[in-house]
Amino acid sequence: MDLGTTIVVVMLGLLLLGFPMMVPLASASVIAFAFFMPIPHQIIIQQMVSGISPVALIAVPMFIFAADIVTKGHTASRLIDLAMTFVGHMRGGLAVTTALGCTLFGAVSGSTQATVVAMGGPLRPKMLEAGYKDSFTMALIINASDIALLIPPSIGMIVFGVVGKVSIGELFIAGIGPGILILLLFSAYSVWYAKVNDIPTIPRRTWLERGKAVINAGPAIMFPVLIVGGIYLGWVSPTEVAAVSVVYAIILEVLIFRSVKWHELLHIARSTGLITAVVFILVGAGTTFSFVISFAQIPQAVIGALALDTAGPYTILFAISIAFFIGCMFVDPIVVILVLTPIFMPLVNNAGIDPILVGTLVTLQVAIGSATPPFGCDIFTAIAIFRRPYAEVIKGTPPFICMLLLVAVLLIFFPQIATFLPETAFH
């Protein structure tokens, strides 16, 4: 067998045997170095280390740590109450509250899975009690949580920025427009669903109650303001704002809300360390695997076979969307970004396509894939949290996936949705 065939056979075989993604990636790379690549074997270690060496990756564990702290604390409940006081009385208000709550918490945590846990726990019982079908409820929570990947902070954007050599700060700002557009589409669909299914409304809150909710949630709302405002105004870099987010999360939950004890931070830090280790192992293994397939000239063969080297910008953008969408349906999103980004970025640069637009589009497709069968990670998080079978969890997802794909198409034809804010801030 040649190198390309060997890589595919090894990876598929190990995946079918149930090994986590890091094992097939590393194993395929080791076999390639040992039997097919006439270069010193220590380069495999160098590639793994170089994959996790970029300074920008320091932001990853800090954003994960901040997300873990606020997930354990009272931030989610206060954001839910804030959203409920302003939109809960309208038709479909509870569903709109769920979408808005996921967006707000995503802007605090930057994690889709943390958002599923934090929003799904308190809101799913309320929606079921109000008359919403469980399939709609779970699908809304899962897919609205994906806005967390677009609204800064976003680990997906950090990884893409490092691999694609694109400004992470500009990527963070670019995700705001598509994130808000998804929120509006989900809210409109929720209102329509509530009207069709005659979901009852609840009384309008008084302005006094709204004022109290704003005061209670004020410190939590300042979280995304610090992140987005600091980057937009050029006061801090994404790495620096990650450090600020950890400090603010501790101040918020330990000192202001008093929902987390000082001694609990050690346990939270230990959990963050485990998650960070998994992420960095994937990054190191993925970087090495990208080196192997580049050495084997597999990307050039694929691009040539699809005639993408002579394609126009729209064709390239649609090819990127399809490749990342399908890839994230089966493989961990970070791995997909690490493997596919080096393949497509030369095409993007040669065609003169804005890399910020590409990074936003890739992040959106990663978000869609996180909630898309068969192996979207948010689906299995929902199964664990809601304790419902796989078929029930995915039953209501098609309308939301269609709306997300619509946003991807709109991004391709109207790139200003993503590029307007970063162009205003950085140019």
In order, the DSSP letters of 211-232 are HHHHHHHHHHHHHHHHHHHHHH
Task: Supply the angle between the helices 75-87 and 112-130 in degrees, to the nearest 10.
Answer: 50
How confident is the model at residue 231, as a pLDDT? 84
Task: Determine the Cα–Cα distance for residues 275 and 36; give it in Å rounded to an integer.
Answer: 33
The answer to whether the CB of 369 falls within 8 A of the CB of 323 is no
Handedness of CA 375, 365, 63, 139 (dihedral sign): negative
How confident is the model at residue 427, as a pLDDT? 65
Nearest residue to 353 via CA among 307, 321, 328: 321
Length of the chain (residues): 427
Task: Supply the angle between the helices 93-109 and 75-87 in degrees, to the nearest 10.
Answer: 140
The answer to whether the CB of 320 falls within 8 A of the CB of 358 is yes
**3-state class (DSSP) for residue 161:** helix
**3-state class (DSSP) for residue 311:** coil
Q: What is the pLDDT along the chain (427 residues), one digit of tens a residue?
A: 678 788 888 888 888 887 887 888 889 888 888 888 888 878 888 888 988 999 889 998 999 899 899 988 888 889 999 999 999 889 999 999 999 999 988 888 878 888 888 888 899 999 999 999 999 999 999 999 989 889 888 888 999 999 999 999 999 999 999 999 999 999 999 999 999 999 988 889 999 999 999 999 999 888 888 888 888 888 888 889 999 999 999 999 999 999 999 999 999 999 999 989 988 988 898 888 888 888 877 777 777 777 788 889 999 999 999 989 888 877 778 888 988 898 899 899 999 999 999 999 999 998 888 888 877 778 888 888 888 998 899 999 999 999 999 999 999 999 999 999 999 877 6
3-state SS, 342-411, equals HHHHHHHHHHCCCHHHHHHHHHHHHHHHHCCCCCCHHHHHHHHHHCCCHHHHHCCCHHHHHHHHHHHHHH
State the DSSP H helix or E strand holding residue 70, giving kind and residue range, or none if neither.
Answer: helix 59-72
Q: Which residue has the tokens 């060997």?
A: 6
- If 0-12 CB within 10 Å is exposed, 13-18 middle and 19+ buried, where does residue 332 land? buried
- Burial of 392-405, coded b for 16+ CB within 10 Å and e otherwise, reads ebbbbbebbbebbb
The answer to whether the CB of 124 falls within 8 A of the CB of 142 is no
- Compute the C-alpha angle 290/152/223, nearest 5°: 140
